[in-house]
A and B are shown apart, each in its own frame.
Chain A
Amino acid sequence: MPQVTYIEHSGTEHRIELEAGKSVMQGAIDNGIPGIDADCGGECACATCHVYVDEAWLAKCGTAGEQEASMLSFAATAEPNSRLSCQITMSPELDGLVVRMPEAQH
């Protein structure tokens, strides 16, 4: 199964296996990884599943859609490599993906 590494703001790393087809947000929630809140449960409606995608993976993750870009534009901690993890769907090509968490999810 493809693997994802989540790095908390504190630096703590969590590596998990994530079935293709599931979102990167779901992986964090199912494995109790702190730092992703996901208040809306993956509807692209809360921006509390914000992550920074490691540069090496940015292109493979695709670009944010219109709704995602609007939600992200309000996040105080947004950077050019920000994505909402509920909008990144796991696939074999993303095996080894690394994402970092912001200081806080709001």
Chain B
Amino acid sequence: MNAPVDLDHARIAATTPLDRLDPSNPAIFRDDAWQPYFARLRREAPVHYTAESMFGPFWSVSTYKEIMQCELAHKVLSSDSLHGGITIRDRDKSLRLPMFIAMDPPQHDEQRKVVQPIVAPANLAKLEHMIRERAISILEGLPRNETFNWVDRVSIELTVSMLATLFDFPQEERRKLSHWSDCATALPMPGGLIENEEQREAVFAEMLGAFMKLWNERVNAEPRPDLISMLAHGEATRNMTPREFMGNLILLIVGGNDTTRNSISGGVLFLNENPAEYDKLRANPALIETMVPEIIRYQTPLAHMRRTATADFEIGGKTIRAGDKVIMWYISGNRDEAAIDQPDRFIIDRPRPRGHLSFGFGIHRCVGNRLAELQLKILWEEILKRFPKIEVVGPAERTYSAFVHGITNLPVRIPG
């Protein structure tokens, strides 16, 4: 299923009867062919119902304004894992993990407040030096005049060593973090990273074991500014069940891993696709400040978030019924010309670049948004000091997923 089959996306997007259009097919994202599907939805049906898909029936919300409306409607649009959580794919009920991204108030609010201080301005300032050191050592180790996979050598390496620091997790074992994150979001399929849910559970159990060890060490020690110590001592989290603890860990690992990784990869790709922007950046590195949010918009590392209606809800002239699944397609809202000027262009000096949907809005807005930006900013500062050009020398390969909008392989070469 994962082997690329040639689908004529432009034709499918244009000619499929509207009520049968299914923007959730992961092949659309793997083939980088999502644009015409969503352009049609935005034009013809900003709130649209797909009756049949591999994820069952669902509503698509594809325009910026309507997505914002959903973000503010958390009282009727639930994130709770009991209703299916925050991704289009329902998991087997017994396997659902409790984590605050997939909770509603008041529990969500209590747990979020415990984690929030890790990204307070003072803490970010402390992290800056450490992120820069890691970025420098990773960049200094890159080969010249040789093709390599940017995703593996830079994007994964940097985000994972960052995460290890946030958790104060042993640096030597940091690649375990990305493995766990990949397993948490992988679609089970034959020959895939995980083949079934039992395998996923086994990976989670291994992860829980490793983290329980760290928890036990830290719960009896003085509080420290790492995430595990904060969870172990926080009033709202210290009595979490092992399953809740695991849910929150996965949240922080996936939240801070895949997304940042794919933004790091996306940036290199977009600058290569837009040489005039690359020239602008080289001439004026101060543009990194506005380029970083633009990269995050243009990539949209999470293509959607899902909600489930708990009461009937009117939006865009349609009535969503209690129990229905609602998909907010950020990837589409970020290309809505009613909200963003020339949305299909990558422009590194937009006047107000943070108005994009990639971090969500409302009570679940990304906890790590400024931390993610900080990592990208530092990385690009250090890249520009060293390499006038990173050349993409082959086609990018992309993740087979309607949720994680990712790049798995990006062959590059650094001349020099």
Q: Which residues of A contact B (CB under 8 A)?
A: 29, 37, 39-41, 43-48, 67, 70-71, 73-74, 76-77, 103-104, 106
Contact = CB atoms under 8 A, between A and B. Distances in A.
A25 to B, nearest CB: 12
16 contacts: A29-B352, A39-B354, A40-B68, A40-B361, A41-B355, A43-B72, A44-B72, A45-B72, A45-B362, A70-B109, A74-B113, A77-B120, A106-B119, A106-B121, A106-B369, A106-B370
Contacts, number: 52
Given A45-B72, A46-B365, A73 B109 contact: yes
A35 B71 CA distance: 25
A67 B365 CA distance: 13
B105 interface: yes
A76 B355 contact: no
B239 interface: no
Interface of B: 68, 71-72, 105, 109, 112-113, 116-117, 119-122, 124, 352, 354-355, 361-363, 365, 369-370
Contact of B355 (A40, A74, A104, A106): A40
Contact of B121 (A29, A48, A104): A104
Taking chain A's interface residues, is the majority helix, strand, or loop, or is none over half, making it mixed? loop
Taking chain B's interface residues, is the majority helix, strand, or loop, or is none over half, making it mixed? helix
A43 B120 CA distance: 23
Nearest to A44: B72
A73 B122 CA distance: 18
Contacts of B121: 76-77, 103-104, 106
B117 A76 contact: yes
A77 B117 CA distance: 9
Nearest to A47: B365
Nearest to A104: B121
A46 B121 CA distance: 16
Given A41-B355, A43-B72, A45-B71, A76 B109 contact: no
A46 B116 contact: no
B270 to A, nearest CB: 21
B406 to A, nearest CB: 24
Contacts of B109: 70, 73-74
